[in-house]
Chain A
Amino acid sequence: MIAGGTDLLPSMKQGLFAPRVLIDLKGLRELDFIRFDARRGLEIGALTTISALANSQVVAREFPVLHEAAKTVASPLLRNMGTLGGNLCLDTRCLYYNQSEFWRGSLGGCIKKDGAVCHVAPGSDTCWAAFSGDTAPALLALEATVELAGPRGRREIPLAELYVNDGLVRLTKAADEMVTAVRVPAANAGWLGTYRKLRIRQSIDYPLAGVAVVMRKRADGSCAQARIGLTAVNPMPRLVTASDRLAGQAYSAALVEDVAREAIRVGKPLKTSASTMEYRRQMIQVFVRRALTDLWRSAN
């Protein structure tokens, strides 16, 4: 299946995939929509472009975390082509995997492609290539669900259940299933949210680490509830459950630090990218701290 092709085509050029048939999804205009209803929540078609998502006023107003995350994806041209479905189903990335056929061949391949060894974790029988999409952590924090359609009909699963923490398997969806839509419950509309992304260049670059944080506050400024999603530091996007500790609490720098420290236990980056794992973990801590602090201390 090919949607925008911005992930798939570069990979095909590198010989990572050689499908005999590609099904182009772009013609499915009915899957290109963004709908919001105060009772039913948000629904986004899988063929919606990342640009449309980033430019949507209702998304910016009701789900700022998703708006911010979408704005950081790749570059303006890639956002015009790339779709939400493709972004969620993005292949995992690793310096030893995203290389040309010649390059990989010179090393005898890797566990994810044409080889037996994992070059970042020798001895490992799973693949540590990092899931590097930007919208998934935001949608995880918003408790999104995805609708899958296939020969056996439609089903809806929590987004968290779409992923497997192994670069070899990646997704739970069957090969003959496609993502048709993403839904965010109405209860999560209007939450404060922000997305922080570690990258060397402020455009084009995939995340080296990404932190999505949402928070609902009470009238007295205390935190009613908060959720934190991480990306690019594991083979799948993950939630930081330690954010539960914030529920019902008044702002406290110590508590923020506590949760930020917990966050780096969830993120386990290996040397899959140019930055070191130490630095990527350190930045998760800084970003969680900054994001929580900003949201908690912001005016509304």
Chain B
Amino acid sequence: MGQPVLDESPIGARVPMVDSAGKVTGKGIYADDMTLPGTLTGKILHSPHAHARILSIDTSAAESLPGVKAVVTGRETPVKYGILPVGHDETIFATDKVRYVGDNVAGVAAESAEIAEEALRLIKVEYEVLPAWFDPEKSMLAESNLIHEEKPHNIEKDYHHHFGDVEKGFEAADYIREDRFFCPEVTHAALEPHSTLAQYDSEADAITVWSSTQVPYYLKLNLASTLQMPEEKVRVIKPLVGGGFGGKSEVIPLELAAAVLARMARQPVKITYSREEVFYAHRGRPGQIVALKTGMTREGRLTAVEARIIQDGGAYCSYGVVTILYSGQLLNAMYEIPNVKFDGYRVLTNKPACGAMRGHGTVNTRFAFEQQLNRMASVLGIDPMEIRRRNLLKPPCMTVNSLRVLSYGLPECIDEVEERSGWREKHGKLPYGKGIGIAGSHYVSGAANAIIRSGAPHTTVNLSIDSDGIVTIFTGASEIGQGSDTLQVQVVAAELGIGLDRVKIVAADTARTPIDLGSYSSRVTFMAGNAAIAAARDAKNKILTAAAAKMATTPENLLIEGNQVTCRDDRRLSMRFADAVRLAIVDGAETLEATGSYRPPPEATGGKFKGGGVGPSPAYSYCAQTAEVTVDPETGQVTVDRLIAAHDCGKAINPICVEGQVIGSVWMGLGQAVQEEMMWRNGRLMNPGLLEYRSASTLESPPIDAIIVESNDPEGPFGAKEAGEGSLAATIPAVTHAIYDAVGVWIDTLPITPEKVLKAIDEKRKSEIWKSEARSQN
């Protein structure tokens, strides 16, 4: 489908996403839609125990079942892997122990799903069940039966940061508050379950994998290491992805399992997780306990913050070390806090591994912080909008923990939601049962330091322009529904001055596209966007230099506009873009090649302290949000009536995408606020399905107004920053704040079930009766 040719720059234009047609018509191809001749079905045998030693595995009966083409266990897959270099603690299949209900024990490839399932039933595993750890606070005290022998006390990692002097900060405070917050584990619940198709070429000893992934490049590296194959023998292709939200931002067991099985069977193998298996693969947001202490002056100026954070990480490291660091490091870069102390513990438990999920690491801490801020504002009698204004950063600046902030639209975001929500007429003035609340949040526009540290660029974009002037972008960046492809097309078209219909894109195929680290930490717009600009500038340079020679002028005197190369000082002199390209194509070549890459500036890469590398970003997005609710005081039922989110994305290159991302983030935050929770009993997930894991239905989804604030980041592509995650966290404390405004209770434990609200209302009533009785007796 052709894109409209625009008279004006495509930057800021509401153009439909380049891959939307197939998604709407159902013709789009996702991993599970694909089959190759002879494709087998792969299935995985999961552990029924939370913690057990594997004594023996007998696969002989499964192997001799007709139709079974391969059976594999941990014996054949001993290589450890993990997304972080410090966290290589997984193997494709368990080698010695299983560590959660659902852990991977063996794999089967067979001619049909039924045969594969039957084969799984025939695999006999002898276990020695071990005592298991489910509660992170108890797990931290473990002396024996450790989940990983090399991790004493089941602590994956702990960090202790102290910036400024919190003792002094609390001394300077007029009001100090301490609260404890608990956010249970939640998961991404992407619509598309993970799916991988793997094909082994025995002649070339090479493997090709089509997978629902956000990180084709890391998948390639991990396939090479676990299959013990050279990297150049591994090719990863990402088809359309039906939502990731972080759940596909690292290597997921089925991806490796499909590849191993395909190599053994010498036939293509496809594995698609059941919804239940998606819950076991998990990598969602960890349960988190936040003990938070904040000090402020009478005027509401923050003097010190101290946070003790425990994350219930599950049985493997995954992104855990990064998650715990984000939870502390990003206490900063939102408001001016002179003194900050952070003690963070990432704890192992016998549950599926937690990983990265939209708003990675920041969400639960942000909920705690904003809630406490609102609480303190209400005690001090300061308007919650005002208390935020009193603590704004003054960019350009460097926070106490060395985060560099250049662009900062938070003040405008606050102004916008205050105005649009009718805050002054509503806050504290609505009838009992109705309330309005506010909160803020922020997020990185990509991590300034790559997972695997090196001086290499974080992303490279190549352009190939043919003699008809058609530009093809080659990018490793992964479109996962957020608009990665569309954005790069827009940016290249804008920079080259040509129509969107002249630009095509080839993305996320490791054999054809240059390296990009993946779609996580909201890095693509900023990083791939900048690389695309650099590539387009390279092309433009070459084209204008060639055209200038022909037109007897200088390249500086030329511009490209509306598919024409035109002289600035004599508009009558012009030539078609395609003709100029032809001039620039070097002899013997068919296309003009250009390239650009991006690496974050050294000033943005953070402090030199332990853990200082996580949190720094070239730019931060900001969000302020209001929520309006109705609370039924007899049932505790909370109805969220309206949410308004103002998001500073630097510059909205495509407002449709930005609004979609903001609305999606807010909606996801709402789910975590009011109804989502992974419920555990003895290490068993009680709700491994979408009926009992309750994401909001349309009926609980209120109107969400997305307001775009543009602070024009000096380093962002056309000023842009991230838009896909930063609005999520604010929803939760905005809703709890609105509940306080409605019925006078604070909910510190998520999700805000009617039951908790009702209990809080009852307790408040009782304590008020008690107080009034005490008063009348005096």
Contacts and interface: CB of A to CB of B under 8 A. Distances in A.
B754 A201 contact: no
Contacts of B691: 204-206
Given A106-B48, A106-B684, A201-B675, A275 B755 contact: yes
Interface in A79-108: 95, 99-100, 102-103, 105-107
Interface string B11-40: 000000000000000000000000000000
A102 B635 contact: no
A223 to B, nearest CB: 22
Given A200-B694, A201-B694, A202-B697, A106 B758 contact: no
Nearest to B674: A200
Contacts, number: 56
B700 A201 contact: yes
Nearest to A201: B697
Contact of A201 (B634, B699, B755): B699
Given A274-B687, A282-B758, A105 B48 contact: yes
A103 B684 contact: yes
A278 to B, nearest CB: 8
A99 to B, nearest CB: 8
A95 B686 contact: yes
B101 A106 contact: yes
B694 A106 contact: no
Contact of B634 (A75, A204, A206, A286): A286
A276 B636 CA distance: 14
Interface string A25-67: 0000000000000000000000000000000000000000000
A203 interface: yes
A283 interface: yes
B125 to A, nearest CB: 12
Contacts of B686: 95, 274
B451 interface: no
A280 to B, nearest CB: 9
A286 B635 CA distance: 7
Contact of B48 (A102, A200, A201, A202): A102
Contacts of A205: 691, 694
Nearest to B679: A274
A283 B636 CA distance: 10
A200 B751 CA distance: 12
Contact of B697 (A106, A107, A203): A203
B700 A202 contact: yes
Contacts of A274: 679, 686-687, 692, 694
Contacts of B721: none
Interface in B654-690: 675, 679, 684, 686-688
Which of A95, A203, A274 has the most CB atoms of chain B within a 10 A radius of its CB? Answer: A274
Interface residues of B, number: 26
A17 interface: no
Interface in B288-318: none
Interface in B222-244: none
Nearest to A99: B688
A173 B686 CA distance: 32
A200 B46 CA distance: 31
Contacts of B699: 201-203
A197 to B, nearest CB: 12
A99 B691 CA distance: 11
B49 interface: yes
A21 B274 CA distance: 26
Contact of A203 (B49, B635, B698): B698
B276 interface: yes
Interface string B694-706: 1011111000000
A234 B700 CA distance: 28
A107 B682 CA distance: 10
Interface in A203-219: 203-206
B688 A103 contact: yes
B700 to A, nearest CB: 6
Nearest to A289: B634
A102 B46 CA distance: 8
Interface in B598-655: 634-635
Given A201-B699, A203-B698, A95 B675 contact: no
B615 to A, nearest CB: 35
Contacts of B698: 203
A15 B330 CA distance: 46
Interface in B242-263: none
B346 to A, nearest CB: 27
Contacts of B684: 103, 106-107
A108 B646 CA distance: 51
Contacts of A286: 634-635
Interface string A268-281: 00000011100100
B129 to A, nearest CB: 11
Contacts of A103: 276, 684, 688
A95 B692 contact: yes
Contacts of A204: 691, 697
B102 to A, nearest CB: 8
Contacts of A279: 754-755, 758
A127 B49 CA distance: 25
A203 B699 CA distance: 7
A202 B754 CA distance: 13
Contacts of B101: 106
Given A202-B699, A283-B635, A106 B692 contact: no
A203 B634 CA distance: 21
A94 to B, nearest CB: 11
A123 B635 CA distance: 33
Nearest to B692: A274
Nearest to A75: B697
Nearest to A119: B681
Contacts of B697: 75, 201-204
Contacts of B48: 102, 105-106
B136 to A, nearest CB: 22
B262 to A, nearest CB: 24
B774 to A, nearest CB: 27
B40 to A, nearest CB: 21
A20 B697 CA distance: 36
Contacts of B687: 95, 274
B122 to A, nearest CB: 14
A225 B26 CA distance: 55
A210 to B, nearest CB: 14
Interface string B348-363: 0000000000000000
Contacts of A75: 697
Nearest to B686: A95
A105 to B, nearest CB: 6
A211 B696 CA distance: 24
B414 to A, nearest CB: 32
B679 to A, nearest CB: 7
Nearest to A108: B48
Contacts of A105: 48
Nearest to B47: A106
A100 B101 CA distance: 13
B681 to A, nearest CB: 9
B696 A201 contact: yes
A201 B276 CA distance: 20
Nearest to B117: A101
A282 B679 CA distance: 22
A200 B697 CA distance: 10
Interface string A224-244: 000000000000000000000
A95 B46 CA distance: 20
A100 B276 contact: yes
7 contacts: A100-B274, A102-B276, A203-B697, A203-B698, A274-B679, A274-B694, A286-B635
Given A99-B688, A201-B700, A274-B686, 4 more contacts: A95-B692, A106-B101, A201-B697, A286-B634
Interface of B: 46, 48-49, 101, 274, 276, 634-635, 675, 679, 684, 686-688, 691-692, 694, 696-700, 753-755, 758
A-B pairs with the 4 shortest C-beta distances? A106-B48, A202-B699, A279-B755, A203-B697
